[in-house]
Amino acid sequence: MSEPTPVVFVHGLWLHASSWDNWVTVFDKAGYAPSAPGWPGDSDTVEETRTNADSVAGHGIADVVDHYADIIAGLPAKPIVIGHSFGGLIVQRLLAEGHAAAAVAIDPAPIKGVIYLPPSALRVASIALRNPGNKKKAVSLNEKQFKYGFGNELSPEESKDLFDKFAIPSPGQPLFEAASANFSGSSPAKVDTKNSDRGPLLITAGGKDHTVPAAVSRSTLKQYRHSTAVTDFKEFSDRGHSLGIDHGWEDVATYVLDWLKRHSL
């Protein structure tokens, strides 16, 4: 009997790894071997991470990629990697660099080559970018900022509940690296989008997402136009950036599971 395929979930900025708990349960029941490790410096719980905010500071995109590559190296097989927001950028690099069998990038942060950033995305990023000192610090969202960036399509009550459950301080450095990616030849936000030997990639978009508007995800898709590897796209037209953790999360998870089955993964 073959071992179940590993699945590694990668969170983005401002959400704790426990935000994947529902997905881990569903993927486990579907016959996979899922796990959701946190970023470098994250503690096991939301409360501990908030208390030890300095431990997450100063980690950039390359640190996070290396962190997950090390975790993957200890697995029995190349995993499917599923990431949200900056986690979506991370999984694209892991796939392109040969660490994963397939990847799902849920509303991924912009990789190098994505130029147009709508005003709502700039408003969210400015939380960190307006102070250059934040590059080396941990940055937290307040409840109002979380409502705009994650819960804009949710009731105030549901947004607050998600904020209370999952919001954590995160390093500011990845935002600075993404913002300067198109001005740097060696940006850690650069992904080998021409790689035709990689496994399948699914990119999703939330049609009402403020943090990663659908235009960003569609532009990300265009970066792969020179690759013959499978690169699929799905837009959830009525969803915001909370699409993987809010009341409709299961619709997204079900779509991802069906996509994996279509590609015999």
Q: Tell me if 18 sits within 8 A of 166, measured CB to CB.
A: yes
pLDDT at 184: 87
* Helices of type H across 38-169: 46-51, 61-73, 86-96, 119-129, 143-149, 156-166
Q: Tell me if 33 sits within 8 A of 4, measured CB to CB.
A: yes
Per residue in 181-239, pLDDT (tens digit) is 999 889 999 999 999 999 999 999 999 999 999 999 999 999 999 999 999 999 999 99
pLDDT at 263: 97
Quote the mean pLDDT of the chain.
97
pLDDT in tens, the chain (265 residues): 579 999 999 999 999 999 999 999 999 999 999 999 999 999 999 999 999 999 999 999 999 999 999 999 999 999 999 999 999 999 999 999 999 999 999 999 999 999 988 899 999 999 999 999 999 999 999 999 999 999 999 999 999 999 999 999 999 999 999 999 999 889 999 999 999 999 999 999 999 999 999 999 999 999 999 999 999 999 999 999 999 999 999 999 999 999 999 999 9
Using CA atoms, how far apart are residues 57 and 93, in angstroms rounded to an integer? 21
pLDDT at 1: 59
Work out the burial of residue 103: count CB atoms within 10 Å of its CB; fewer than 13 is exposed, 13-18 middle, 19 or more buried. Answer: buried
How is residue 169 written in tokens? 């301080």
pLDDT at 187: 97
**CA dihedral angle for residue 86, residue 167, residue 259, residue 154, rounded to 10 degrees:** -120
How is residue 66 written in tokens? 């290396």
Cα-atom radius of gyration of the chain, to the nearest Å? Answer: 17
**CA dihedral angle for residue 147, residue 248, residue 218, residue 193, rounded to 10 degrees:** 100
Task: Record the pTM.
Answer: 0.97
As beta bridge partners, residue 35 has 8
